[in-house]
Amino acid sequence: MEKIVNLAKRRGFAFQSSEIYGGLASCWDYGPIGVELKRNVKEAWWRDMVMRRADIVGIDCSILMHPRVWEASGHVAGFTDPLVDCKLCKERFRADKLMDAQCPRKPSKHPGECEGELTEARQFNLMFKTFMGPVEDTASVVFLRPETAQGIFVNFLNVLHTSRQKIPFGIAQIGKSFRNEITPGNFLFRTREFEQMEMEFFVRPGEDERWYDYWREERLNWYTRYGIRRENLRLREHAPDELAHYAKACVDVEYHFPFGWSELEGIANRTDFDLRRHAEYSGKDLSYYDEETKERFYPYVIEPAAGADRATLAFLVDAYDEDVADGEPRVVLRFHPRIAPVKVAVFPLLRKHGQPERALELVAILRQHFTVQYDQAGSIGRRYRRQDEIGTPFGVTVDHQTLQDDTVTLRDRDTMQQERIPIERLVDELKRRIEV
């Protein structure tokens, strides 16, 4: 993990937030390479969950919502974690995650196993509060949303009436969520501000179990489709005593992070809880009328809820590799071409004979289609290494032959094979290899 965090900082994937002021705990800023990586993760999700499907539409809701939303959803009363304080070192821990935490004074021990005595657990609400309007009184308290799902539920009728969807159908959203986590950590894994990729799939009661099974498989396969190794993924079904009160079933897609198996995404059968609660609290009828069967009912909801930052971290961890190239050790990120932050790097072999000029002309063409980097500094071997380290799948070299016959060499990051191809075929060839 340390290697990955160092690489991330050195190559511009992620930096500590407000670093020049000493940093803000658990908040991270994505750098020029990281922002491309995360965008690709979100775009892959949107493409597969919305663009390629006739039965799912997208939405983008505001972060601030009516306070009653969070009463109806159960977050005001129940979105809590149990908190304990150590009377000796004054640190705070999640009472249900003590085995994952270290005593700050004796890191070989868990909190409570050292000399420090822990207080009784008390419930701590994870929602961030803020004030709307200029007067800080209780009437104007609003919350930063702790999940994107509720924006989807409260818009159920709006989407139903404007999109002409019929059950079964889904509404998807990508956006920021905020949780005042007691123990954030592990780099991008658990932060207080993060991005979610959630989809609520509305189905007829009775068909919920079939759709739950469908989404379990679909979501697991999504990660392997973009290159995560199957042996680093598993599904973990929740035990009945772990389930949220509204859930009929829930399964986590877990990834084998360097710090252990941990949740990437949760897939839950939320029953008809959410729509019924919002109907009750808002006084609006949120039931669904089936034109064919002439029945009115509250749909059940299957929810695959993923974290964009956690997925980004998993793609980064899974891509990390060290091997030997041309007799030298290299660090290489073996990203799937769709996920890779930079798709193609262009190098003039020499900094003379018109090669840089020709290479820059090529860069201008490629930039219309892909994220491109141009590099003319240092030996060609070192330039390849720099690109391998950020996972660029393709390298294009302009050499003396290019100026004679308009061909370039195309190098593959993983096989390190080079082949010569005409410039006029380059864009199509790269597209063919990237859009798999």
Please say which residue, 43 or 181, places its beta carbon nearer to ligand ATP.
181
Residues 6 or more apart whose CB falls under 8 angstroms from that of 240 comprise: none
> DSSP readout, 377-389?
SS-HHHHHHHHHH
Among the residue ranges 41-49, 189-197, 217-225, 386-394, the one whose residues contact ligand ATP (CB under 6 A): 189-197
Residue 302 · residue 168 · CB < 8 Å: no
Cα torsion through 133, 138, 143, 149, rounded to 10: -110
Based on the shown chain and the rule CB under 6 A, indicate whether residue 254 belongs to the binding site for ligand ATP. no
The C-alpha atoms of residue 399 and residue 418 are separated, in whole angstroms, by 13
Rounded-to-integer distance, Cα 396 and Cα 343, Å: 11
Amino acid at 401: Q
Q: Distance (Å, rounded) from C-alpha 191 to C-alpha 182?
A: 10
Given the complex with ligand ATP, which of 145 and 190 has the nearer CB atom? 190
Output 146 or 393, the one with its CB closest to ligand ATP.
146
Name which of 245 and 294 has its Cβ closer to ligand ATP. Answer: 245
What number of H helices and E strands is found in the chain? 13, 23
95-124 residues in contact with ligand ATP (CB under 6 A) are none
For ligand ATP, the binding residue among 73, 148, 173, 191 (CB under 6 A) is 191
Number of other residues whose CB lies within 10 A of the CB of residue 39: 15
Q: Which is nearer to ligand ATP, 225 or 351 (CB)?
A: 225
Select the residue interacting with ligand ATP from 266, 299, 337, 393 (CB under 6 A).
266
Q: Is-cis flag, bond preceding 82, omega within 30?
A: no
Q: Give least dist CB 129 to ligand ATP, A.
A: 17
Interacting positions 278-317 with ligand ATP (CB under 6 A): 305-307, 309-310
Residue 24, exposed/middle/buried by CB under 10 A (0-12, 13-18, 19+)? middle
Interface with ligand ATP: number of residues (CB under 6 A): 16
How many residues appear in the chain? 436
Nearer to ligand ATP by Cβ, of 310 and 385: the residue is 310
Least distance between ligand ATP and beta carbon 39 (Å): 17
Build a one-symbol-per-residue string for 369-408: x at contacts with ligand ATP by CB under 6 A, - elsewhere: ----------------------------------------
CB of residue 385 to ligand ATP, shortest distance in Å:
32
Helices (H), 184-251: 208-225
The verdict on 216 binding ligand ATP (CB under 6 A) reads: no
CB of 222 to ligand ATP, least distance (A): 13
**Locate tokens 């590799």: which residue?**
321
CA atoms of 204 and 217, how far apart (whole Å): 20
Q: Among candidates 108, 147, 128, which has minimal Cα distance to 303? A: 147
Task: Find the radius of gyration of the CA atoms of the chain.
Answer: 25
Look-up of token digits 């308009």: 406
Minimum CB distance to ligand ATP, residue 310 (Å): 4
Closest CB 251 distance from ligand ATP, rounded Å: 11
* CA atoms of 302 and 211, how far apart (whole Å): 7
Least CB distance to ligand ATP at residue 223 (A): 12
Residue 145 engages ligand ATP in binding (rule: CB under 6 A): no
Q: How far is the CB of 252 from ligand ATP (least distance, A)?
A: 7
* Residues in 414-433 at the binding interface with ligand ATP, rule: CB under 6 A: none
Residue 190 engages ligand ATP in binding (rule: CB under 6 A): yes
The answer to whether 196 contacts ligand ATP (rule: CB under 6 A) is yes
**Binding ligand ATP by CB under 6 A: which of 200, 265, 272, 399?**
265
- Please state, in angstroms and rounded to a whole number, the distance separating the CA atoms of residues 333 and 93: 35
| Residues at the interface with ligand ATP (CB under 6 A) | 147, 179, 181, 190-191, 194, 196, 263-266, 305-307, 309-310
